[in-house]
Structure 1
Amino acid sequence: MAKAEASVEELVSMIERGELRLPEMQRQYVWRSTRVRDLLDSLYRGYPSGAILLWETDEAVPLQSFAVSQSNNPYQSTRLLLDGQQRLTSLSAVIRGEPVSVRGRRRPIDLLFNLEHPDQLAVVTEVDENGDDAEVDEEGELGGDEADASEDELLTRFNKMTFVVATRKLEQLPQWVKVSEVFKTDSDAPFLKRAGISGFDDPRYEKYSQRLARLRGIRKYVYRMDVLERTLSYDEVTEIFVRVNSLGAKLRSSDLALAQITAKWRHSLQTFLDFQSACAQNGFELDLGLHLKNLMAFATGQSRFLTVGSLTLDVLQQAWKEACEGMEFALNFARSNLGIDSPALLSSPFLLVVLAYIGHRRDYALSTEEAQQLRYWALAANAKGRFSRGSSETILDQDLATIRNGGGVNELIDRLRLQFGRLEITPEELEGRNQRSALFKTMFLAFRAAGAKDWRSHLAIALDHSGSQHRLQFHHIFPKALLRGSYTPREADDIANLAFIGGKTNRAISDKAPVTYLLPLVAQHGAAPFAAQCIPVEEELLALDHYKAFLQERRKRIAAALNAFIHAVA
């Protein structure tokens, strides 16, 4: 294995010219903007950033596209990037000022650089850098309404950082500059002028100029490269890729499984991506690893990737065909029978694998009673967080084994009872739960089924409304600012203090007390819109000093609504 070195600038140019390519075995680009921010910060400080693993070959191997644009390779031989894709793609996007393609969508990586950053590295608690409004985030969670800190507190925390993910408000401040804009020019003048520096005698002139030069110096950062021999075969390189990443634990098991599958089933990656895209177009944007786990379930009757290397090409191809049919059934059942039309409403996507597998084993012919039982099991498992307790893969394999051994939905329900005991949801079970609880997702489902609407626009609550004023947010009925000092943050974020409304309504309410804003709304629209979300509107319960009594009463109503929804006949 040869050793070599190359600067960030040289590696970015190799990607742009098409000299450096991605083999099919590689996973997709997955980094979030905050990871790119941290990489830039490390390089800016001269911290180590690992090595790059390449393979130079004349063999015609299956390739995939980088998440950034490339020209056609002008050379006969190909340099394949085996380790370092996430770093180099991120750097290429930022330095070239290009968007990245993530799950079929192109988005920019907008980072800001703080010309007034502290000289010493500051340890800063993670802050929300995703803009003013929080709805459904990148992880598919239902988003929030109110910041945990005031704008002044957030700005103080931002100012301790060197790089941040861009927000509209920070972009307006003169000491924050766009990182990609700095890389596009060697002139400091535009940034110094914007910061209000008009001459050399300004004490900030030298400091800012040095910091801009240091930022551009990231292009000169040198990576060490390990280059595999040309004589190696694609299968040998795949084995090296799997071993290197297994030892380093840098990739998930599904990423390593993908490498083994694509080595055996050449050009299969695009097949997988096409199905992933088709599911996304139908509202279910699922991780590719979930589809591969579903493939394993259909190929082996269990979900782990331990035996993927021993599967033949014929078995993989037949299992994939059946897995796609099963997943289509699962998504249709989730949408039509459960009311779940987005992964954001799933406590775990593993639920879909079970639905896919049992549909397949029943030849997609369920009796009316069995379909109703399956609805009950799925909603109860989703509400209780079946796959979020203990080892999720072990629990998934238990359900798959139950089905594989001839068990039906009744046996799945028995397993659920064995795990949780009583399946009815109690008011006590809601206490202390917040928006990350599986019960919160079921609460949304139950409220939507009950006809819950925004309190001003009267649009039915939904995850896919267009426009920031209508986009769904969760609302603290007693605003957090009002509760601060009298109640703990845990009590303020209690699930019984949360409701679903549109962004404009949420912002209009702001920090008003419920006795101030809620009673006029009840007088105007009646109690029905609030009954749909189990909100008590009795004046005595809306007083600040009766907050705990309000939570207790609402928990009773929510528990009753959830149980009625889960037991309802579809």
Structure 2
Amino acid sequence: MAKAEATVEELVSMIERGELRLPEMQRQYVWRSTRVRDLLDSLYRGYPSGAILLWETDEKVALQDFAVSQTTHGYRSTRLLLDGQQRLTSLSAIIRGEPVTVRGRRRPIDILFNLDHPDQLSIVTEVEEHDADDEDTDEDDEAIGDHADSSEDELQKRFDKMTFVVSTRKLEQMPHWVRVSDVFRHDGDKTFLKQAGITGFDDPRYEKYSQRLAKLRGIRKYLYRMDVLERTLSYDEVTEIFVRVNSLGAKLRSSDLALAQITAKWRNSLKVFLDFQSECAKTGFDLELGLHLKNLIAFATGQSRFLTVGSLTLDVLQTAWKQACEGMVFALNFARSNLGIESPALLSSPFLLILIAYLGHARRFELSSSEARQLRHWALVANAKGRFSRGSSETILDQDLATIRSGGTMQDLIDRLRLQFGRLDITPDELEGRNRRSALFKTMFLAFRDAGAKDWRSNLAISLDHSGAQHKLQFHHVFPKAQLKHEYTPREADDIANLAFIGGRTNRAISDKLPLHYFPHLVDQHGMEPFAAQAIPTAPALLDLANYKVFLVERRARIAARLNEFLGTQAETKG
């Protein structure tokens, strides 16, 4: 294995010219903007950033596209990037100032640089930034947003301690924040210094800011070590090296390593997988490729782990993929039509879809009305309780797959749920201390929507797919955090019993008003139904800030009752 070195600038040029390509075995570009921010911060400080692994070959290899554009090259041999794709794609997008293409959608990576950053490194990992202050959401964004009612001044102070941040409209307008891509596109400092209010050499900030801009551009000269695999190696050998290197370093998920092994046997299969992923996305289920691969393995082996993928023959893989696709189509249709789940954002774990896909195929897609009711009950309770999102999720999924494979009934699956959780109804105590990250929060949305919940001003039914910022669904703190922060912890303020679902415009109009002040007007206009649909008590005594904890107790009881009605677990609650 040869050793070499190349600067970031040289590597980016190699990508742009098409000299450096991606083999089919590689995973797609997956980095969030915050990861790019952290990479830039490390390179700016001269921290180590790993090595680059290449393979130069004359062999005809199945390729995939980079997330950034490339020109067609005329090189006789191809340099394939085996390790370093996420870093180099990010740097290419930033330095060239172009968006990345992720799952067929182009999105910018806008990172801002703080000309006035502290000299010492500040650790501010508690700051969570939103990718792009846009109405268009990226695949990592929350399906249900939150209108900030926390202190913007506090957040701004944290940002000011940082050197790089993901761009927001507010920060873009501040004179000492500059867009990183703009700095790379211009070698002169005049524009940026003028923006910062510097008009002459005698300004004490002139030299400091100029040095920092030069240091930022110096990232282009950052030197990466490259390990270059011998030209004589075969594709199968390189695949094995790729899997071993990434297994030892735990850099890739097991699904990424499985993809490398599958594509080594089934050449050009990545396009087949991506085409199906795209078809599912068109129906609202933009699922990770790894989930589809796990579904493939479940159909090929009857279990979900990737341990045996290397021993599967091409014929087995192709047959299982056809069955897996048929099963997944059934699962997505069942989720939408029978469960009311039209987005993966409403799933506590996408493993639920694999189980439904496998069961549908095992039953030849013929379910009696009784089985369909039982499957709905099982799926909603499993989703609400988080069956596949706690403990060893793959072990639990494998147990359920084994139950179906051995001819087990829907009642057997329900009994397994009861064995795991003890009881299948939701108790008020189970809601205590939960927040929007809980699986129960997603089920709350489903149950409230089923009860006819609407926005409190527009009367639009709550939905994940409303267009326009004013109608986009947000979760709302009934008692605003700004009013609670003096007497209660953030955890208490974010309690699931203090959350409701309304549109963005209504949320902003209410702002930090107490419910005792804004509820009466809404009740006069729309009656009690909008609040009853979301299990919100409206007795004036409960809406007083002094009785916040009493309000939470009462609402937990009402939410639990509504959830049990929706899940079909009322009989068990009474029994």
Structure 2 counterpart of 1:354, one-letter code: L
Deviation at 1:389, TM superposition (A): 1.7
Question: 1:329 maps to what in 2?
Answer: 330
SS at match of 2:87: helix
Structure 2 counterpart of 1:83, one-letter code: D
Structure 2 counterpart of 1:4, one-letter code: A
- CA offsets 1:72-94 (integer angstroms, 9 cap, x no match): 12211000000000000000000
Q: Distance in 2 between matches of 1:260 and 1:424?
A: 43
**TM-score normalised per structure 2:** 0.97
SS at match of 2:352: helix
Structure 2 counterpart of 1:156, one-letter code: K
* 8 Å CA contact retained: 2:456, 2:530: yes
Q: Distance in 1 between matches of 2:129 and 2:352?
A: 31
* 8 Å CA contact retained: 1:334, 1:341: yes
Deviation at 1:489, TM superposition (A): 1.7
SS at match of 1:3: strand
Q: Distance in 1 between matches of 2:60 and 2:147?
A: 54
Within 5 Å, which residues of 2 pair with 1:277-292?
277-292=278-293
Q: Distance in 1 between matches of 2:2 and 2:185?
A: 33
SS at match of 1:388: coil
Question: 2:49 maps to what in 1?
Answer: 49
Deviation at 1:34, TM superposition (A): 0.2
Question: 1:298 maps to what in 2?
Answer: 299
Whether 1:520 and 2:512 are equivalent positions in the alignment is no
* 8 Å CA contact retained: 1:134, 1:144: no
Deviation at 1:141, TM superposition (A): 3.9
- CA offsets 1:183-221 (integer angstroms, 9 cap, x no match): 001010100111111111111111011000000000000
Question: 1:74 maps to what in 2?
Answer: 74
* 8 Å CA contact retained: 2:425, 2:569: no
Q: Distance in 1 between matches of 2:505 and 2:133?
A: 12
- CA offsets 1:14-65 (integer angstroms, 9 cap, x no match): 0000000000000000000000000000000000110000000011100000
Deviation at 1:6, TM superposition (A): 0.4
Whether 1:421 and 2:422 are equivalent positions in the alignment is yes
SS at match of 1:38: helix
- CA offsets 1:431-455 (integer angstroms, 9 cap, x no match): 1110000000000000011111101
Question: 1:447 maps to what in 2?
Answer: 448
Q: 1:471 to 1:482 in 2, by over 3 A?
A: same
Question: 1:431 maps to what in 2?
Answer: 432
Question: 1:472 maps to what in 2?
Answer: 473
Whether 1:4 and 2:8 are equivalent positions in the alignment is no
Q: Distance in 1 between matches of 2:136 and 2:558?
A: 25
Deviation at 1:416, TM superposition (A): 0.3
SS at match of 2:117: coil
Question: Once structures 1 and 2 are overlaid, which stretch shifts more, 118-127 or 250-259?
Answer: 118-127
Question: What is the alpha-carbon root mean square deviation over aligned residues?
Answer: 1.4
SS at match of 2:327: helix
Deviation at 1:546, TM superposition (A): 1.1
Deviation at 1:547, TM superposition (A): 1.0
Structure 1 counterpart of 2:164, one-letter code: F
Deviation at 1:487, TM superposition (A): 1.8
SS at match of 2:76: coil
Within 5 Å, which residues of 2 pair with 1:116-127?
116-127=116-127
Task: Give identity over the alignment, percent.
Answer: 80
Q: Distance in 2 between matches of 1:332 and 1:301?
A: 22
* 8 Å CA contact retained: 1:15, 1:70: yes
Whether 1:163 and 2:164 are equivalent positions in the alignment is yes
Whether 1:483 and 2:476 are equivalent positions in the alignment is no
Q: 1:24 to 1:135 in 2, by over 3 A?
A: closer
Question: 1:90 maps to what in 2?
Answer: 90
SS at match of 2:388: helix
Give the unaligned 5+ runs of structure 1: none
Structure 1 counterpart of 2:477, one-letter code: H
SS at match of 1:27: coil
Whether 1:507 and 2:499 are equivalent positions in the alignment is no
- Runs (4+) of structure 1 exceeding 3 A deviation are 131-144, 146-149
Structure 2 counterpart of 1:364, one-letter code: F
Q: 1:102 to 1:136 in 2, by over 3 A?
A: closer
* 8 Å CA contact retained: 2:424, 2:569: no
* 8 Å CA contact retained: 1:135, 1:472: no
Question: 1:273 maps to what in 2?
Answer: 274
Question: Once structures 1 and 2 are overlaid, which stretch shifts more, 399-408 or 16-25?
Answer: 399-408
Q: Distance in 2 between matches of 1:228 and 1:145?
A: 49
Structure 2 counterpart of 1:201, one-letter code: D
SS at match of 1:177: strand
Question: Once structures 1 and 2 are overlaid, which stretch shifts more, 128-137 or 343-352?
Answer: 128-137
Structure 2 counterpart of 1:64, one-letter code: Q
Question: 1:373 maps to what in 2?
Answer: 374
Q: Distance in 2 between matches of 1:301 and 1:148?
A: 48
Deviation at 1:132, TM superposition (A): 6.2
Question: 1:15 maps to what in 2?
Answer: 15
SS at match of 1:507: helix
Question: 2:100 maps to what in 1?
Answer: 100
Deviation at 1:566, TM superposition (A): 1.0
Deviation at 1:491, TM superposition (A): 1.5
Q: 1:43 to 1:113 in 2, by over 3 A?
A: same
SS at match of 1:283: coil
Question: 2:573 maps to what in 1?
Answer: none
Q: Distance in 1 between matches of 2:126 and 2:218?
A: 26
Structure 2 counterpart of 1:250, one-letter code: K
- CA offsets 1:148-171 (integer angstroms, 9 cap, x no match): 741111111001000000000000
Deviation at 1:109, TM superposition (A): 0.2
Deviation at 1:133, TM superposition (A): 8.5
Whether 1:235 and 2:229 are equivalent positions in the alignment is no
Structure 1 counterpart of 2:271, one-letter code: Q
Question: 2:565 maps to what in 1?
Answer: 564
Deviation at 1:144, TM superposition (A): 4.1
Give the unaligned 5+ runs of structure 2: 571-575
- CA offsets 1:451-493 (integer angstroms, 9 cap, x no match): 1110111111011111111000000000011111222222211
Deviation at 1:524, TM superposition (A): 1.0
Deviation at 1:136, TM superposition (A): 7.3
* 8 Å CA contact retained: 1:383, 1:442: yes
Q: Distance in 2 between matches of 1:476 and 1:138?
A: 25
- Figure out how many residues of one structure are paired with residues of the other and give that number: 569
**TM-score normalised per structure 1:** 0.98
* 8 Å CA contact retained: 2:145, 2:473: no
- CA offsets 1:259-313 (integer angstroms, 9 cap, x no match): 0000000000000000001101100010100000000000000000000000000
Deviation at 1:352, TM superposition (A): 0.2
Question: 1:344 maps to what in 2?
Answer: 345
Deviation at 1:137, TM superposition (A): 7.0
Structure 2 counterpart of 1:532, one-letter code: A
Deviation at 1:145, TM superposition (A): 2.2
Q: Distance in 2 between matches of 1:539 and 1:144?
A: 28
Within 5 Å, which residues of 2 pair with 1:352-431?
352-431=353-432
SS at match of 2:213: helix
